[in-house]
Structure 1
Amino acid sequence: MYMTQGLHRSMQQRPQQVAIRYEGKETTYAQLGDRVARLAGALRQLGVQDGDRVAMFSMNSARYIEYYMAVPWAGAVLNPVNIRWSAAEILYSFEDSATSVLIVDDHFKNVAATVAADCKHIRHVIYAGDGETPPGMLSYEALIADAAPIADRFRHGDDLAGIFYTGGTTGFPKGVMLSHSGLLSSASNAIMFGLTGRDARVVMVMPLFHLAMFSSVNIQMMVGGSFIAVPSFDPAALLQTISDTRATEMLLAPTMFQMLLDWLDHNPERAASLDLTSLTHLRYGASPMSLPLLQRARAAFPRAGFAQGYGMTEMSPMVTVLGPEHHNEESLASGRMGSVGVPVFTVEIRIVDSQGREVPRGTVGEIAARGPGVMLGYWNNPKATAEAIRDGWMHTGDGGYMDEDGFLFLKDRIKDMIISGGENVYSAEVENALASHPDVAQNAVIGVPHKKWGEAVHAVIVPKPGTQPTLESVQAHCRTRIAGYKIPRSVELRESLPTSSVGKVLKTELRKSHLR
């Protein structure tokens, strides 16, 4: 398996199929293949050798998708940059990975220039914007125009395909090394589960640096579908794009779904002018979605089949899928809709205790997974690699249990579990109870220090407009849904929750104000 395999297939089988739609311009697979081969040629002319790292620091665009194919075509290694990082975090990742070439767009050209000047490894900065090329940078379009297309280097199998940095909120990020075969085997699961097809028109609105979106690129390259690149998330603009392009698929984080649904509720006249009936596949991931929010989404998009993917960067990224056949009233009644589904075809899962021993079905433990998608390791960090991968099993750090039929239920990140008076409290369970409170728009639950109990359950709530939920109302609501020791002992109201670029709530930020 090799990263450009799907592109070669689509160039051969569907050369005139539209591969990318971006800002009113369409690129066919034949045109995409030519631009990728030329960009790869330009990179080799700049001195990029097999295994060299090439970074992309950009909003979503057609050029980002070209980057994802051109770098492996040139035999090099991908290093997409988290657009929410500070300059110090970006510089660290470049120094750590010895990145030699940086591609940057208009949004980040100033930060990129500063970081590149401070990084001893960066040899070239390529400007992939639409304005005048800044001093000291090379023009992306000029490089493609002047370079001759080259043959694919065909790095494959266990060759390093990309370094995907994770974390950065509790220390410097770790570089996850992923192989060609790991990434392609992971992407193939979406096809085997029937979650897409060759006539797909996929809106790509989550940040493309995120592995879930790169996986979507790989999936569509394999089937020959079309990408609709959207620079950033804006509910009104996104819905208009769906209506205009007759998009069929989309992947969103739960927080994005909430903002989309809130916009539809608050703008009924504009919503009525949109045609969203083309949507047939809606996927959600990056963090758990509460059942009340999922029910709202299903009601808003009744023609679409919903699917959830659970995964992590270290698994390339897919681990489980809960498909459309389990998003129905029967699965709601049985509780299955509250699971993250079953292992994908290329992944094996087991639930283990602190000693790595498998626990009985229904018992909460740590989720461990193995398969071809397991990372090669953490870049320059053998200690962390040895802690995470044991006997071929990736220890995820997520707590959960498996039922008798093999459905996986997430409980919490192991590090986010609250231990109050000796009892384990899983924050996700409390958050799900709070989500159905009539005055709660969003919420997050953390443990805060308590003299008597060690930790106490603390709820951080974003109220719905015009409401003011109290501790008493929150406790009364939860008391009918969860055990007494799980009920929040304190409540904090906020205008918003701190989130990552893909919508994950940053609980480390919420805890800071409660540290002793």
Structure 2
Amino acid sequence: MTIEADRAGGTFRRAVDPDLIAADPRIGTVTGLLGDGVARTPDAELLRFGDESWSYSRVDAASSQLAHRFVAVDHLVPGDRVAIMLPNVVGWPLIWLAALKSGVVAVPVNSSYRAADLEFVLSDSGARVIVTDADHLTLVHEVLAGTPDLADITVVDIADTGDAHLPITSPTASIGPETLANLQYTSGTTGFPKACMLTHDYWTRIGWTCAAAVGLGPDDVLLTAQPFSYMDPQWNTVLALITGAPLVVLPRFSASGFMADARRHGATFCYVLGSMPTLLFKQPPNHADRDNRLRAIFCSAIPAGMHADLEDRWGAPWREIYGMTESGVDLFSPFDDAAVVGSGTLGHPVPTKRVRILDPEGAEVPDGEPGELTVSGVPMMLGYWNRPDATAETLRDGRLHTGDVAVCEAGTYRLVGRIKDMVRRGGENIASSEVERALECAETVVAAAVLAEADELFGEEVKAFIQLAPGTVADRATAERIVDATAARLARFKVPRFVEFVTDFPRTPSERIAKPIVKARAAQNPGTTYDLRPARTAAPGK
């Protein structure tokens, strides 16, 4: 274990030497990491939910009893699936660890799902047990009663899982790095989600990589606010096991309360994604903003124009990290590289990954030219559960085809957009994400979503759905000011022609805007759309 200094001159112990970032994790299973922590520091804090602290030994004992319950009461055998439909309560990681200890595969279920989504996940996964709480029991029973194929699923109320007579030591199960741990469903923004098959090796490599990249150790405090059904709090749990740092779990993400919670718990590291950085920055400045212990923040899709201001406001470095549920961590920007601030770069590939930018024919494109970002290496999902065709389409020639459009510039990578999230205006392809970033630079904009609007002349035009900061008048003058401000950042053909204001956005579990729902909602209940640029007869882009 090495020592490094923080921004205030204090010292922190590193659990993983940065030179070992490409090495195999010292312990290759999640359950092995927990057992190692119990042996070394049984009384150290592992998890914190509100004011309740859970030590290694307490987590180990409780998860072992639950694992024995799965075997003795629910008659689950290795390879069976158990669905977890719970909010951010301590029962979530306990059930997850219990499933892994018994060789059972965990199926995280978004606790905000309604009947159709829940029925799909239970049917698709073949879950034999679902663990939930009082708030979701009625929904679960209604879904099971209305779907004959699900009638044999056992419903377990988390409040009724305690049994002091069960052993507090792990059951006997053959578990190795390649043992299947999760069926992790993707957000499903373009239809029903697919389940990524994730192993113990997948989780331990993410934790190992992040521990080495950030320089985390037992002197740190980790913080998460995303739903536990999403992968982030799960890899944060593994990160805690590897580093010896406690993980603080908030009930949900609150833009107004997140930084106050970070101060209250003494958090030194957190990961934010999607719209979270923008929502945080739109909060009124506070005299206590820099009164925190944060020394490193990983984020995804940070607005480039806001990057320096985010660091200045909270006094800690923010660095991009890129990955997918399918592949874990692929790229990151080092924390000691201040030159990346505001550059929009995703950084460099992690040492265990190789990134290539390919054209539609599969040939590598020159630096500076856009193409599909593809990844090979470890960790990587085994494939999509019950989806051989989708697996073959995504994992081709030994590479994960991400669907993201990116460019390579001097060894670093920058996202341009999604292959399927483009506006095709005349002869120009416009990445929605680029326009959204430009719009969100305006102080009055909380979040923006750009979609294609049908147009007789150009085929498609750019339409922006915009959520305004509180107190901002949603009128044509505001729309004009916001769109005019983008002209300095965007080519003329990329500037939105249409603007519709919304009060909020539907979001995926990963806090990304659910654009299909935005589009459907606008069609069913259209709001006022401001046409800011009458149709022209000039050639596209002129």
Q: Find the partner of 2:82 among 54, 79, 89.
A: 54
Do residues 348 (structure 1) and 357 (structure 2) align? no
- Alpha-carbon distance in structure 2 between the residues aligned to 1:36 and 1:402: 45
Identify the residue that residue 458 of structure 2 maps to in structure 1. 453
- Alpha-carbon distance in structure 2 between the residues aligned to 1:470 and 1:243: 35
Identify the residue that residue 232 of structure 1 maps to in structure 2. 252
Q: Find the partner of 2:518 among 505, 510, 514.
A: 510
Q: 1:56 to 1:231 in 2, by over 3 A?
A: same
The CA deviation at 1:256 is: 2.8
The CA deviation at 1:400 is: 0.6
> How do 1:458-469 and structure 2 match up within 5 A?
458-464=463-469, 465-467=471-473, 468=475, 469=477
- Alpha-carbon distance in structure 1 between the residues aligned to 2:455 and 2:391: 34
Structure 1 stretch displaced more, 230-239 or 354-363: 230-239
- Alpha-carbon distance in structure 2 between the residues aligned to 1:33 and 1:453: 61
The CA deviation at 1:511 is: 2.8
- Alpha-carbon distance in structure 1 between the residues aligned to 2:260 and 2:134: 24
The CA deviation at 1:485 is: 1.3
Q: Find the partner of 1:175 among 191, 195, 204.
A: 195
The secondary structure found in structure 1 opposite 2:76 is coil
- Alpha-carbon distance in structure 2 between the residues aligned to 1:106 and 1:42: 20
- Alpha-carbon distance in structure 2 between the residues aligned to 1:59 and 1:145: 27
Identify the residue that residue 135 of structure 1 maps to in structure 2. none
Q: 1:388 to 1:166 in 2, by over 3 A?
A: same
Q: CA RMSD in A?
A: 2.3
2:194 counterpart letter in structure 1: K
Q: 1:349 to 1:427 in 2, by over 3 A?
A: same
- Alpha-carbon distance in structure 2 between the residues aligned to 1:141 and 1:443: 46
Percent identity between the two aligned chains: 27
2:262–2:292 contact (8 Å) kept in structure 1:
no
Q: Find the partner of 1:306 among 313, 318, 326.
A: 318
Do residues 72 (structure 1) and 80 (structure 2) align? no
The CA deviation at 1:398 is: 0.7
The secondary structure found in structure 2 opposite 1:415 is coil
Q: Find the partner of 1:153 among 173, 180, 189.
A: 173
The CA deviation at 1:383 is: 0.8
The CA deviation at 1:76 is: 0.7
Q: 1:373 to 1:296 in 2, by over 3 A?
A: same
Q: 1:102 to 1:279 in 2, by over 3 A?
A: same
The secondary structure found in structure 1 opposite 2:336 is helix
The secondary structure found in structure 2 opposite 1:191 is helix
1:236–1:263 contact (8 Å) kept in structure 2:
yes
- Alpha-carbon distance in structure 2 between the residues aligned to 1:195 and 1:449: 49
1:41 counterpart letter in structure 2: H
Identify the residue that residue 280 of structure 1 maps to in structure 2. 295
1:166 counterpart letter in structure 2: T
1:308 counterpart letter in structure 2: E
Identify the residue that residue 432 of structure 1 maps to in structure 2. 437
Q: 1:247 to 1:351 in 2, by over 3 A?
A: same
2:236 counterpart letter in structure 1: S
1:176–1:377 contact (8 Å) kept in structure 2:
yes
Q: 1:308 to 1:456 in 2, by over 3 A?
A: same
2:63–2:95 contact (8 Å) kept in structure 1:
yes
Q: 1:246 to 1:346 in 2, by over 3 A?
A: same
Identify the residue that residue 340 of structure 2 maps to in structure 1. 331
Identify the residue that residue 125 of structure 1 maps to in structure 2. 155
The CA deviation at 1:111 is: 1.8
The CA deviation at 1:396 is: 0.6
1:383 counterpart letter in structure 2: D
Structure 1 stretch displaced more, 493-502 or 44-53: 493-502
Identify the residue that residue 204 of structure 1 maps to in structure 2. 224
The secondary structure found in structure 1 opposite 2:176 is coil
> How do 1:350-369 and structure 2 match up within 5 A?
350-369=356-375
> How do 1:211-250 and structure 2 match up within 5 A?
211-250=231-270
Structure 1 stretch displaced more, 491-500 or 288-297: 288-297
Q: 1:58 to 1:282 in 2, by over 3 A?
A: same
Identify the residue that residue 491 of structure 1 maps to in structure 2. 499
2:109–2:118 contact (8 Å) kept in structure 1:
yes
1:442–1:461 contact (8 Å) kept in structure 2:
yes
The secondary structure found in structure 1 opposite 2:170 is coil
TM-score by length of 1: 0.89
Identify the residue that residue 379 of structure 1 maps to in structure 2. 385
- Alpha-carbon distance in structure 2 between the residues aligned to 1:451 and 1:398: 28
The CA deviation at 1:306 is: 1.8
Identify the residue that residue 500 of structure 1 maps to in structure 2. 508
- Alpha-carbon distance in structure 2 between the residues aligned to 1:195 and 1:154: 32
1:18–1:27 contact (8 Å) kept in structure 2:
yes
The secondary structure found in structure 2 opposite 1:36 is helix
2:187–2:510 contact (8 Å) kept in structure 1:
no
The CA deviation at 1:163 is: 0.4
CA offsets per residue over residues 237-271 of structure 1, 9 Å max, x none?
Answer: 54443333222222222423333344443xx4xx6
1:48 counterpart letter in structure 2: L
1:308–1:322 contact (8 Å) kept in structure 2:
yes
2:302–2:320 contact (8 Å) kept in structure 1:
no
Identify the residue that residue 409 of structure 1 maps to in structure 2. 414
Do residues 258 (structure 1) and 270 (structure 2) align? no
Q: 1:17 to 1:169 in 2, by over 3 A?
A: same
1:71 counterpart letter in structure 2: A
Q: Find the partner of 1:35 among 62, 79, 91.
A: 62
CA offsets per residue over residues 266-320 of structure 1, 9 Å max, x none?
Answer: xx4xx64x884222222223xx121244334222211x232222111111x2111
Identify the residue that residue 127 of structure 2 maps to in structure 1. 99
Give the gaps of 5 or more residues in structure 2. 1-27, 525-542
Identify the residue that residue 319 of structure 1 maps to in structure 2. 330
- Alpha-carbon distance in structure 2 between the residues aligned to 1:397 and 1:484: 26
1:331 counterpart letter in structure 2: V
Give the gaps of 5 or more residues in structure 1. 130-138
Q: 1:460 to 1:356 in 2, by over 3 A?
A: same
- Alpha-carbon distance in structure 2 between the residues aligned to 1:509 and 1:99: 28
Q: 1:421 to 1:207 in 2, by over 3 A?
A: same
CA offsets per residue over residues 77-118 of structure 1, 9 Å max, x none?
Answer: 010102232221111111111101111123323222323444
CA offsets per residue over residues 480-508 of structure 1, 9 Å max, x none?
Answer: 22211111111112222222233101122
1:157–1:181 contact (8 Å) kept in structure 2:
yes
- Alpha-carbon distance in structure 2 between the residues aligned to 1:165 and 1:56: 12
Identify the residue that residue 185 of structure 1 maps to in structure 2. 205
2:161 counterpart letter in structure 1: Y
> How do 1:14-29 and structure 2 match up within 5 A?
14-29=41-56
The secondary structure found in structure 1 opposite 2:275 is helix
The secondary structure found in structure 2 opposite 1:141 is coil
- Alpha-carbon distance in structure 2 between the residues aligned to 1:453 and 1:471: 22
- Alpha-carbon distance in structure 2 between the residues aligned to 1:67 and 1:141: 12
- Alpha-carbon distance in structure 2 between the residues aligned to 1:140 and 1:86: 24
Q: How many residues were matched structurally?
A: 491
- Alpha-carbon distance in structure 1 between the residues aligned to 2:162 and 2:257: 27
The secondary structure found in structure 2 opposite 1:114 is helix
1:319–1:343 contact (8 Å) kept in structure 2:
yes
- Alpha-carbon distance in structure 2 between the residues aligned to 1:514 and 1:485: 25
- Alpha-carbon distance in structure 2 between the residues aligned to 1:490 and 1:54: 46
| Structure with greater helix percent | 1
- Alpha-carbon distance in structure 2 between the residues aligned to 1:479 and 1:169: 30
The secondary structure found in structure 2 opposite 1:377 is coil
